[in-house]
Structure 1
Amino acid sequence: MKLQTTLKTSFDRYPSELILSVLLALMYLPLIAHWYDGWLNKTISLEHEYFSHGIIGLPFAAYIIWTKRDRWRDLDDRFNPLGAVLLGLGGVLYVSRMPDFVNLSFPIVLAGLSLGLKGHPGFKLMAFPWLLVLLATPNDLPYLIAPFSEPLQSFIAGTAGFILTQWGLDVTVQDILLLVGGRVVEVAPHCAGFKMLFTTLYVALMLLYWTGSLKSKKTTVVFLLCAVAISVITNILRNTFLTLFYGTGRDELFHWLHEGWGGDAISAFMLLALIPTLAAIERLREALSGSDTIESV
């Protein structure tokens, strides 16, 4: 009885939102379940694995939307024509049966609903969770940028070769190839670190929002730059050890780091490093703002 009363009260307060939520669930829950199955069991395409940060990002976006439900209700109902256009576009993409188009219809429909129900203020209120959904939506962007990754591959190969040389190994670097112990290691496009970079920046955005630091443009820019540096350095070290293990015949360690849980462990430590990094940036910002206050006095 209590549950029925709660549901009736919720329906009375948010009738259109609840109806639309049910429709969205019927349309997109099977799709999102497919994403999760692919991300968790690695049965999704290699390019779509780049968006596995959605495992934590989509629930976080749903949580943010839930916390803003009262502010959403208090907004005046207003129609923005762009919302109708986006809803139409999302509907066309959804029925196209092309996987990437169906995927992209999800954030497009969400944007259309926000603009169609509450206008620009509604979209602005839900802009950050919408961004999290957009950045977690699988598409072929990694495939499109792969041809432009060769300079980064060469840089990683050269840096890894330099590090291994300092460790006393005989290493020859040829563009994106490293020759160690008679074995050849290639820094392939998928080893250039884009997946790691996408995940790092995504989690960095989540941390900025969670801590309230997103309101500071300086903190946001500095932290995102630090996140890029952490990602690049981590990927260089990962490729260095992969080359070391493969070149010295330690195949078990190579496979552990390349395809096993060793790579996941490195990614986890990399993401954990973002927390003290943001804390240090905040302390520095507070210290600098405090010194400015003293000088002005």
Structure 2
Amino acid sequence: MQLDRKFPTLLDRYYGWIVIGAIALLYAPLIAHWYDGWLNKNISLEHEYFSHGLIGLPFAAYIAWIDTRSRWRRLNEVTHPLALPFLITGGIFYLSGLPDFTNLSFPLVLIGVCLWFKGIPGLKLEKFPLLLVILATPNEIPYLISPYTLPLQAFIASCAGFILTHFDVPVTVEQIYLYVNDKIVEVAPHCSGLKMLLTSLYVALMLLYWTGTLRSRGKTLTFLGSTVILSVTANIIRNTLLTFFHGTGREQIFAWLHEGWGGDLYSACMLGLLIPLLGSIEWIADYFHPGTELEES
């Protein structure tokens, strides 16, 4: 009888850990598959668009475990009616065997767990790490929107041609194609900067949260808008360099910047510029409008 009385107590005490362990066992192979694909680039092209999850998923775990854990414990234990539908849908998706459904089951189950343990207050508390997980979950959205990037591709090609012309490089621009010395460079959908734009906005959200600037709507919108401009500008410069290197026969450096680690280095440097960009926006906002942060929150 004493053992029977202790068992429910132990189960209640470690119930949360049991759930965390079960989720870890179920999704560790899936997340390992994501990381392998992102690091070794052996995942589908559309799923490579979500490689920002390399840093986003650990950051989401850090927020949930370090930043919000004490507040999570203080919340009342309440189960929301929507918890079960989310958990059931996530389970069905996981067991479907379809890659995208299996991927999407991860955030669905996490949302269901939040609703099961702490209801809507728990979901609100964990909304930002859940957002990071959702935005890092591979799906087919990039494939669906790629046909609509043609105006962006044409804009980048035109800008690259304009820059090369001013450096006396003989270039001809036809929609998304650039011709230099009878060599052609295409600003393809995956070269339109969509991946870099998505990654830049993702990293921008992380910086906004880390610095606490996310509380200010004005600074947040200004920074996200500036991030878009910076990302598009960086991609124009990159495509300009690629066109120049390919058109002038510098194939080795073209390959280094296009498919080698040079492209990763270029992207990392561009993302690094987001830090001083955010600092500049905060300094300008505080200089011209001191003491207005609380009003904007």
**Tell me, what secondary structure is at the counterpart of 1:26?**
helix
What is the CA-CA distance between 1:286 and the residue it aligns to? 1.1
Say if 2:134 is the partner of 1:156: no
Say if 2:191 is the partner of 1:169: no
2:86 equivalent in structure 1: 86
Is residue 80–residue 115 contact of structure 1 (8 Å, CA) maintained in 2?
yes
**Tell me, what secondary structure is at the counterpart of 2:173?**
strand
Distance 2:268 2:200 in 1: 10
Say if 2:113 is the partner of 1:113: yes
Amino acid aligned to 2:202:
Y
Say if 2:30 is the partner of 1:57: no
What is the CA-CA distance between 1:290 and the residue it aligns to? 2.6
What is the CA-CA distance between 1:292 and the residue it aligns to? 7.7
1:30 equivalent in structure 2: 29
Distance 1:266 1:276 in 2: 17
Amino acid aligned to 2:31:
I
**Tell me, what secondary structure is at the counterpart of 2:45?**
coil
Distance 1:160 1:268 in 2: 21
Distance 1:151 1:80 in 2: 45
Distance 1:14 1:87 in 2: 22
**Tell me, what secondary structure is at the counterpart of 2:168?**
coil
Distance 2:200 2:264 in 1: 13
What is the CA-CA distance between 1:15 and the residue it aligns to? 2.2
**Tell me, what secondary structure is at the counterpart of 2:179?**
strand
Distance 1:225 1:124 in 2: 26
Structure 1 regions of 5+ residues with no counterpart? 1-10
Is residue 104–residue 137 contact of structure 1 (8 Å, CA) maintained in 2?
yes
Distance 1:163 1:26 in 2: 53
Distance 2:209 2:174 in 1: 43
2:129 equivalent in structure 1: 129
Amino acid aligned to 2:169:
L
Distance 2:60 2:52 in 1: 12
Amino acid aligned to 2:204:
A
What is the CA-CA distance between 1:141 and the residue it aligns to? 0.9
1:199 equivalent in structure 2: 199
Distance 1:14 1:150 in 2: 56
What is the CA-CA distance between 1:58 and the residue it aligns to? 0.5
Distance 1:186 1:284 in 2: 39
Distance 1:145 1:240 in 2: 24
What is the CA-CA distance between 1:14 and the residue it aligns to? 5.4
1:103 equivalent in structure 2: 103
Say if 2:277 is the partner of 1:277: yes
Q: Taking structure 1 as reference, are residues 292 and 70 closer, same or farther at Cα in structure 2, changes over 3 Å only?
A: closer
Is residue 14–residue 73 contact of structure 1 (8 Å, CA) maintained in 2?
no
Distance 2:289 2:185 in 1: 49
State how many pairs are aligned: 283
**Tell me, what secondary structure is at the counterpart of 1:51?**
coil
**Tell me, what secondary structure is at the counterpart of 1:290?**
coil
Deviations 1:173-212 (A, max 9, x none): 1111111111111110110111100110010000000001
Distance 2:192 2:169 in 1: 22
Distance 1:182 1:280 in 2: 43
Q: Taking structure 1 as reference, are residues 212 and 13 closer, same or farther at Cα in structure 2, changes over 3 Å only?
A: farther
Q: TM-score, normalised by structure 2?
A: 0.93
Distance 2:241 2:222 in 1: 29
Cα RMSD over matched residues? 1.5
What is the CA-CA distance between 1:69 and the residue it aligns to? 1.3
What is the CA-CA distance between 1:289 and the residue it aligns to? 2.3
1:212 equivalent in structure 2: 212
- Judge which range, 12-21 or 205-214, deviates more: 12-21
Amino acid aligned to 1:37:
D
Is residue 201–residue 228 contact of structure 1 (8 Å, CA) maintained in 2?
yes
1:5 equivalent in structure 2: none
**Tell me, what secondary structure is at the counterpart of 1:60?**
helix
2:231 equivalent in structure 1: 231
Q: Taking structure 1 as reference, are residues 292 and 46 closer, same or farther at Cα in structure 2, changes over 3 Å only?
A: closer
The sequence identity of aligned pairs, in percent, is: 58
